A and B are shown apart, each in its own frame.
Chain A
Amino acid sequence: MVGHRTQIKIVGEILDTTMQEIDEQEGATVTHIIKNANISHGRLSRILSNLVSQGLLEQVNSKRSCRYKISTSGREFLIAYKTFRDFSDDFGLNI
């Protein structure tokens, strides 16, 4: 059974997707994030602009498409998120 995802969980999955793309040094495309985080384009756009304004993501404009890279504070947030996601799981709860 697939449970309802909270906002913080969606943000965690988006940051995780951009973190996975770190080796390429170009960031993740919107299409790639939509696919990995399983979220609609409209909702993703709102969340992405929010994350960029908060400094968790960096927008990289290349010739072909708009990409997103995780920032240093984004990485710190992701580590904290994963730690406390596991902590909530231990109590049988969703973060």
Chain B
Amino acid sequence: MEFFLEISLNLVGLLVGIIIGIISYIGFKNTGSPTLFRLSIAFCAIGIGFGILATGFIIDDFIFETGNINAGISMLGIASQVIGYWFIAFSHTIKTFFPKSRYLRSIGALPLFLVSFGYVETILRAVSFILLVYGAIETLISYVQGRKKTTLFVAIGLGLLGFGEFIGWYSYVFPETILYVGSIIMKIGGLISVGIPVSKIPLRKISFDENL
């Protein structure tokens, strides 16, 4: 049951992440906006991270049948997600603190915290949680300023992802409880909520001017 939920969560994450990533990239190609470029990197990294985790769970479920995902695959998937969350948080940081910095707007800074040492997975999960909470708060502030409903959905989505991660920690302390299932359901809800803005993008082809 837990494996089924994990695979479902990660497949939803893969789908939502890649769709938002592709739409952001189309936006970047059309407008040349660095914000959309960062969003495309962020959501592609998040989607790939979920995809890696889904692959790990599927491989274990159908081939190795150990009941545990391979630690290396798990760490790789989570690291990819952290990079994605970092780019979302970084975009908010630029908007809030460095609105005129050409350097930061153009290339950004490398996520230097990805240093390999003990308990890397736990550290990455903690970083994910912090970045998600930060992203949710900044998006909520944007909602208060602009009052757009879809912004509120994104803020709720990021908040649910962060809260799901937080509840997930407690499931380590209290295993075999409803906490783990609750954590996964929260994360799925969060991903769907984050994907709501995609529904507003028209499905017709948006032309691309090669000169831009």
Interface residues of A (CB under 8 A from B): 3-4, 6, 8, 54-56, 73, 76-77, 79-81, 83-84, 86-95
A76 and B209 contacting across the interface, CB-CB below 8 Å: yes
CB distance B39 to A86 under 8 Å? no
Interface size on B, residues (CB 8 A): 40
B142 at the binding interface (Cβ < 8 Å): yes
Of A56, A73, A79, A95, the contact of B35 (CB 8 Å cutoff): A95
A19 to chain B, nearest CB (A): 16
Most chain B Cβ neighbours within 10 Å, of A8, A88, A90 = A90
Number of A-B contacts (CB under 8 A): 97
A86 CB contacts on chain B under 8 angstroms: 200
Chain A residues with Cβ below 8 Å from B139 are: 91-92
Interface of A, helix, strand, loop or mixed by DSSP = helix
Complex CA gap A8/B212 in Å reads 11
CB nearest to B100 among chain A residues:
A4
Q: Is the C-beta of B122 less than 8 angstroms from some C-beta in chain A?
A: no
A-B contact pairs, 18 of them (CB 8 A): A6-B35, A8-B31, A8-B32, A56-B209, A77-B209, A80-B27, A80-B207, A84-B27, A87-B36, A87-B197, A88-B27, A88-B33, A88-B35, A89-B146, A90-B148, A91-B88, A91-B151, A92-B142
